[in-house]
A = this chain, B = another copy of it.
């Protein structure tokens, strides 16, 4: 690909940051609060806008309901607009009410299922208000012990709830269905793998698509294969990027295995899916438990951008010829040649050309923003996973 086309690809790239990554988070052992953490959705949006201003490729912010509920959606929407960002996907939460101890839409009790499904429908209302196109569904539903509930009946209940929400979607709205191997359910989750999400989406229809959260797989899973396969089936709707060494660690994207991130982005490029017009939403879903929030999100956005630049650098003619001729080492070398290239100078130049600071993280530290929010955001309750 010519450098111009590479730069065009990079300029078109869009990454969505999640409102909750700006808030406090932790493990079951401890949440360590940090200074300057937002206390409401407006402050989260303000932080997201900083990330966009510095990187130029993070123009939207995902919301999580009810954590980000506000009285006046128009006000939040306009506030975002003023900050030059927009509200992105609506993430439903059916895992924190006492009623959901044994499940939400798959719960054996129809009353609980009704309540959960109603929340999902409410989220579509929010979408109407915010202009968001996507409802993103992750279910903590599952069981901790063999026999605890009937796995197959839970699928029936899941299908029923999804169908009801699907019918409620507007013409240009989508349902994005996430899967996860385990946690918080420890024996069986109701949507454990991409196959399950895919089968449900297929039955629902074209507006239902699969979300790949890069931290939600069994050890050894080849994620880029799933990317390639779902692109072929036209059923990949979104990513939740993060990285992991063990489980759903929710570390910064690209931090644990930058080569894997590159391979994923290569499949995206190869499948023609990098362009926003293709329709994939590239989100982060991370927890910055011990590191500073905004710089960690900047780092994650840049890591994805660097992986993308390397993916765009792959000489696909050379690669294709080596593949076709069965030259294993030459084909591998064609890929590695791109990965081993240091793309940071090119990206710095790209930013400079676009009037941005070539080093977004250094610019952030120089900006005084952190000192300002640390000083200003002192009263009230810091946002976290619980609020």
Which positions in A face B, CB cutoff 8 Å? Answer: 25-30, 32-33, 95-96, 98, 100-102, 108-109, 140, 144-152, 155-156, 181-184, 186-188, 192-196, 198-199, 202, 217-222, 224-226, 228-229, 231-233, 244-247, 249, 251-252, 255-259, 263, 267, 270-271, 289-292, 295-296, 299, 306, 319-320, 322-326, 328-329, 331-336, 339-342, 344, 361, 385
The answer to whether residues A220 and B246 also contact, given A188-B225, A323-B148 and a CB cut-off of 8 A, is yes
B108 touches A323 (CB 8 A): yes
Alpha-carbon separation in the docked complex, A170 to B370 (Å):
50
A298 → B minimal CB distance (Å): 9
> Once the chains bind, are A328 and B186 in contact (CB under 8 Å)?
no
| Interface core residue of A194, A199, A219 (most chain B CB under 10 Å) | A199
Q: How far is the CB of A109 from chain B (nearest CB, A)?
A: 7
Q: Is B245 within 8 A of A319, CB to CB?
A: no
Since A30-B140, A187-B245, A257-B259 are in contact, a sample of 12 more A-B pairs with Cβ atoms closer than 8 Å, ordered by chain A residue number, is: A25-B28, A33-B98, A108-B324, A146-B263, A146-B335, A147-B335, A150-B270, A152-B231, A152-B270, A183-B246, A247-B247, A333-B361
| Complex: chain B residue closest to A222, CB-CB | B188
In the assembled complex, how far is the CB of residue A21 from the closest CB belonging to chain B, in whole angstroms?
14
Docked CA distance A341–B344 (Å): 9
Known: A140-B29, A251-B186, A342-B342. A329 touches B296 (CB 8 A): yes
- The answer to whether residues A27 and B109 also contact, given A199-B233, A218-B219 and a CB cut-off of 8 A, is no
Docked Cα-Cα span, A291 to B149, in Å, equals 13
Contact A192 B225 (CB under 8 A): yes
Interface pair B192/A193, CB less than 8 Å apart: no
Pick the most buried of A25, A101, A319: most chain B CB atoms within 10 A of its CB: A101
Residue with the highest number of chain B CB atoms closer than 10 Å, among A156, A186, A322: A186
What would 27 A/B residue contacts be, using CB atoms closer than 8 Å? A26-B184, A28-B28, A29-B385, A108-B326, A146-B335, A147-B331, A148-B323, A148-B328, A152-B231, A156-B232, A183-B247, A186-B249, A187-B251, A192-B222, A193-B221, A195-B226, A199-B233, A219-B219, A247-B247, A259-B259, A291-B328, A291-B329, A292-B329, A295-B329, A299-B329, A306-B340, A340-B344
Chain B residues with CB under 8 A of A193:
193-195, 221
Shortest Cβ distance from A361 into chain B, in angstroms? 8
Determine the distance from Cα of A385 to Cα of B290 in the docked complex, in whole angstroms: 20
Is the beta-carbon distance between B232 and A152 smaller than 8 angstroms?
yes
User: In the complex, what residues of B have CB within 8 A of residue A341's CB?
Assistant: 342
